Amino acid sequence: MSAGSADPNQEERRLRERPSILDLSFAELEEIVRGLDEPAYRARQLWISLYRTLTPSFGEMSTLARSLRAKLEQHYTVDCFETAVEERSKDGSTDKALLRLRDGELIETVLMRYEADDHRKRRKTVCISTQAGCALGCTFCATGQQGFRRQLSVGEIVAQVMRMERIARAEDNAEIAVNERSRGERQGVTNVVFMGMGEPLANYDNTLAAVRVLNHDQGLHIGARHITVSTVGLPDQIVRLGSEDVQINLAVSLHAPDNATRSQTMPINKRHPIEEVIEACRDYVAATNRKIFFEYVLLDGQNDSVDHADRLGRLLRGMLCHVNLIPVNPTTEGPYPRPGRAASKAFQEKLTTHGVASTVRMEKGIDINAGCGQLRARALTETR
């Protein structure tokens, strides 16, 4: 090879290692466009191509000048991952994807379809991950049993919703084609929950940046009240979230009414006992005047007795809150079976006596390992 010729392998490696443009905020895109000697309005065109029309490559962004597309292609990619496994539940209500990131790490994303009921319209909810693995080690959670790998970038978080948005839009378009009454309904994903792999508030900056991208009115434009961020209960971050200028929902994973019970399944409770968590939650409600949601996974024989319900009701009485009761998705290595329907109902009825509202969450995707981390765990086991 002559001294002046380029190494094709080096060029191929450079293209493969390009950063994802999905990691950039709108302000950063404006700066990039200016640096490429392009007019400022090109940044908005690029943003719309990425997040509103979901154009999968720079070459297909016909609203952009060809010269700009070529420049972007040289420096960035739109890709964040490839699909390793994709499954749909037997009832067709749930899709789960195992996604392989560019460095080989595996994460999960779930699309859940809900029909209309007496309280809510039809909706399509995406459950997304914020970390590869998780460091918190909750004993009933498949992800917690796998350990922590790394934080996800903003683009890796948002791209999960974009992937499921394409599926949801295609379904809506097919329905509209055969049913005129469907016209006018919002197409695509209606709700996003940060309840997949990892602890969102331990990846605070990237999680909030992803929320702002999802909520942006020139992109996916998912309403803030339709976005829920979940946490195991990190008090400082809960209070910090209460000061943010986004009207999202907060869900706190409680899973026990007292320190002794909670510490048995959630090691984080030894660092942040339940009193600290509840105090931070009360501060959050006072700052935002928004209802807080408590997630309570029901574990047979561990935290699902009427006495547990009575103590939980006393703990939460008077707070602006709602409790989601979730019969556990059993895992291969997890020690806790699913409680029966009668136990779940009795638990809920006891909460009601304290004036604490609750819902037993509808089960989705058990037949495709839709619980957090279960599909990744299965894939890793099969690989071994």
User: Do 64 and 23 share a domain, yes or no?
Assistant: yes
User: Do 65 and 156 share a domain, yes or no?
Assistant: no
- Token pair 């191509």 is found at 49
Q: Which of 113, 149, 119 is nearest to 131 (CA)?
A: 149
Q: Residues of 332-365 as b/e, b for ≥16 C-beta within 10 angstroms?
A: eebebebbeeebbeebbebbeebebebebeeebb
pLDDT tens, 47-81? Answer: 999 999 999 999 999 999 999 999 999 999 999 99
Whether residue 184 has pLDDT greater than 80: no
- Mean pLDDT along residues 162-172: 95
Query: 182 falls in which pLDDT band (50, 70, 90)?
Result: low
Quote the pLDDT of residue 211. Answer: 98
User: Do 119 and 12 share a domain, yes or no?
Assistant: no
- Mean pLDDT along residues 306-331: 93
Quote the pLDDT of residue 333. Answer: 62
Q: The CATH number of the domain where 182 resides is what?
A: 3.20.20.70
In a domain, 157, yes or no: yes
User: Do 49 and 96 share a domain, yes or no?
Assistant: no
Tell me if 247 sits within 8 A of 289, measured CB to CB. Answer: no
Query: 147 falls in which pLDDT band (50, 70, 90)?
Result: confident
* Domain of 32, in residue numbers: 8-75
In a domain, 336, yes or no: yes
Quote the pLDDT of residue 365. Answer: 55
- The secondary structure of the chain, three-state, reads CCCCCCCHHHHHHHHHCCCEHHHCCHHHHHHHHHHCCCCCHHHHHHHHHHHCCCCCCHHHCCCCCHHHHHHHHHHCECCCEEEEEEEECCCCCEEEEEEEECCCCEEEEEEEEECCCCCCCCEEEEECCCEEECCCCCCCCCCCCCCEEEECCHHHHHHHHHHHHHHHHHHHHHHHHHCHHHCCCCCCCCEEEECCCCCHHHHHHHHHHHHHHHHCCCCCCCCHHHEEEEECCCHHHHHHHHCCCCCCEEEEECCCCCHHHHHHHCHHHHCCCHHHHHHHHHHHHHHHCCCEEEEEEECCCCCCCHHHHHHHHHHHCCCCEEEEEEECCCCCCCCCCCCCHHHHHHHHHHHHHCCCCEEECCCCCHHHCCCCCHHHHHHHHHHC
Tally of structural domains, the chain: 2
Indicate which residues carry an active-site annotation.
108, 372
User: Do 175 and 319 share a domain, yes or no?
Assistant: yes
Whether residue 352 has pLDDT greater than 80: yes
Give the pTM.
0.89
Angle at which helix 204-215 crosses helix 154-178, to 10 degrees, equals: 30
Average pLDDT, the chain: 89
In a domain, 275, yes or no: yes
Quote the pLDDT of residue 120. Answer: 81
User: Do 253 and 330 share a domain, yes or no?
Assistant: yes
In a domain, 62, yes or no: yes
Q: Which of 75, 105, 131 is the last residue of a domain?
A: 75
Q: Which of 46, 75, 104 is the last residue of a domain?
A: 75
Quote the pLDDT of residue 380. Answer: 46
In a domain, 1, yes or no: no
In a domain, 56, yes or no: yes
Whether residue 238 has pLDDT greater than 70: yes
Quote the pLDDT of residue 382. Answer: 47
Quote the pLDDT of residue 335. Answer: 77
Question: What is the torsion angle, in degrees rounded to the nearest 10, for the CA atoms of residue 328, residue 372, residue 325 and residue 311?
Answer: 80
In a domain, 198, yes or no: yes
pLDDT tens, 9-56? Answer: 776 676 778 999 999 999 999 999 999 999 999 999 999 999 999 999
Whether residue 343 has pLDDT greater than 80: yes
In a domain, 3, yes or no: no
Quote the pLDDT of residue 377. Answer: 52
Query: 1 falls in which pLDDT band (50, 70, 90)?
Result: low
% of the chain exceeding 70 in pLDDT: 88
Q: The CATH number of the domain where 17 resides is what?
A: 1.10.150.530
Higher pLDDT, 3 or 303: 303
Query: 369 falls in which pLDDT band (50, 70, 90)?
Result: low
Query: 176 falls in which pLDDT band (50, 70, 90)?
Result: confident
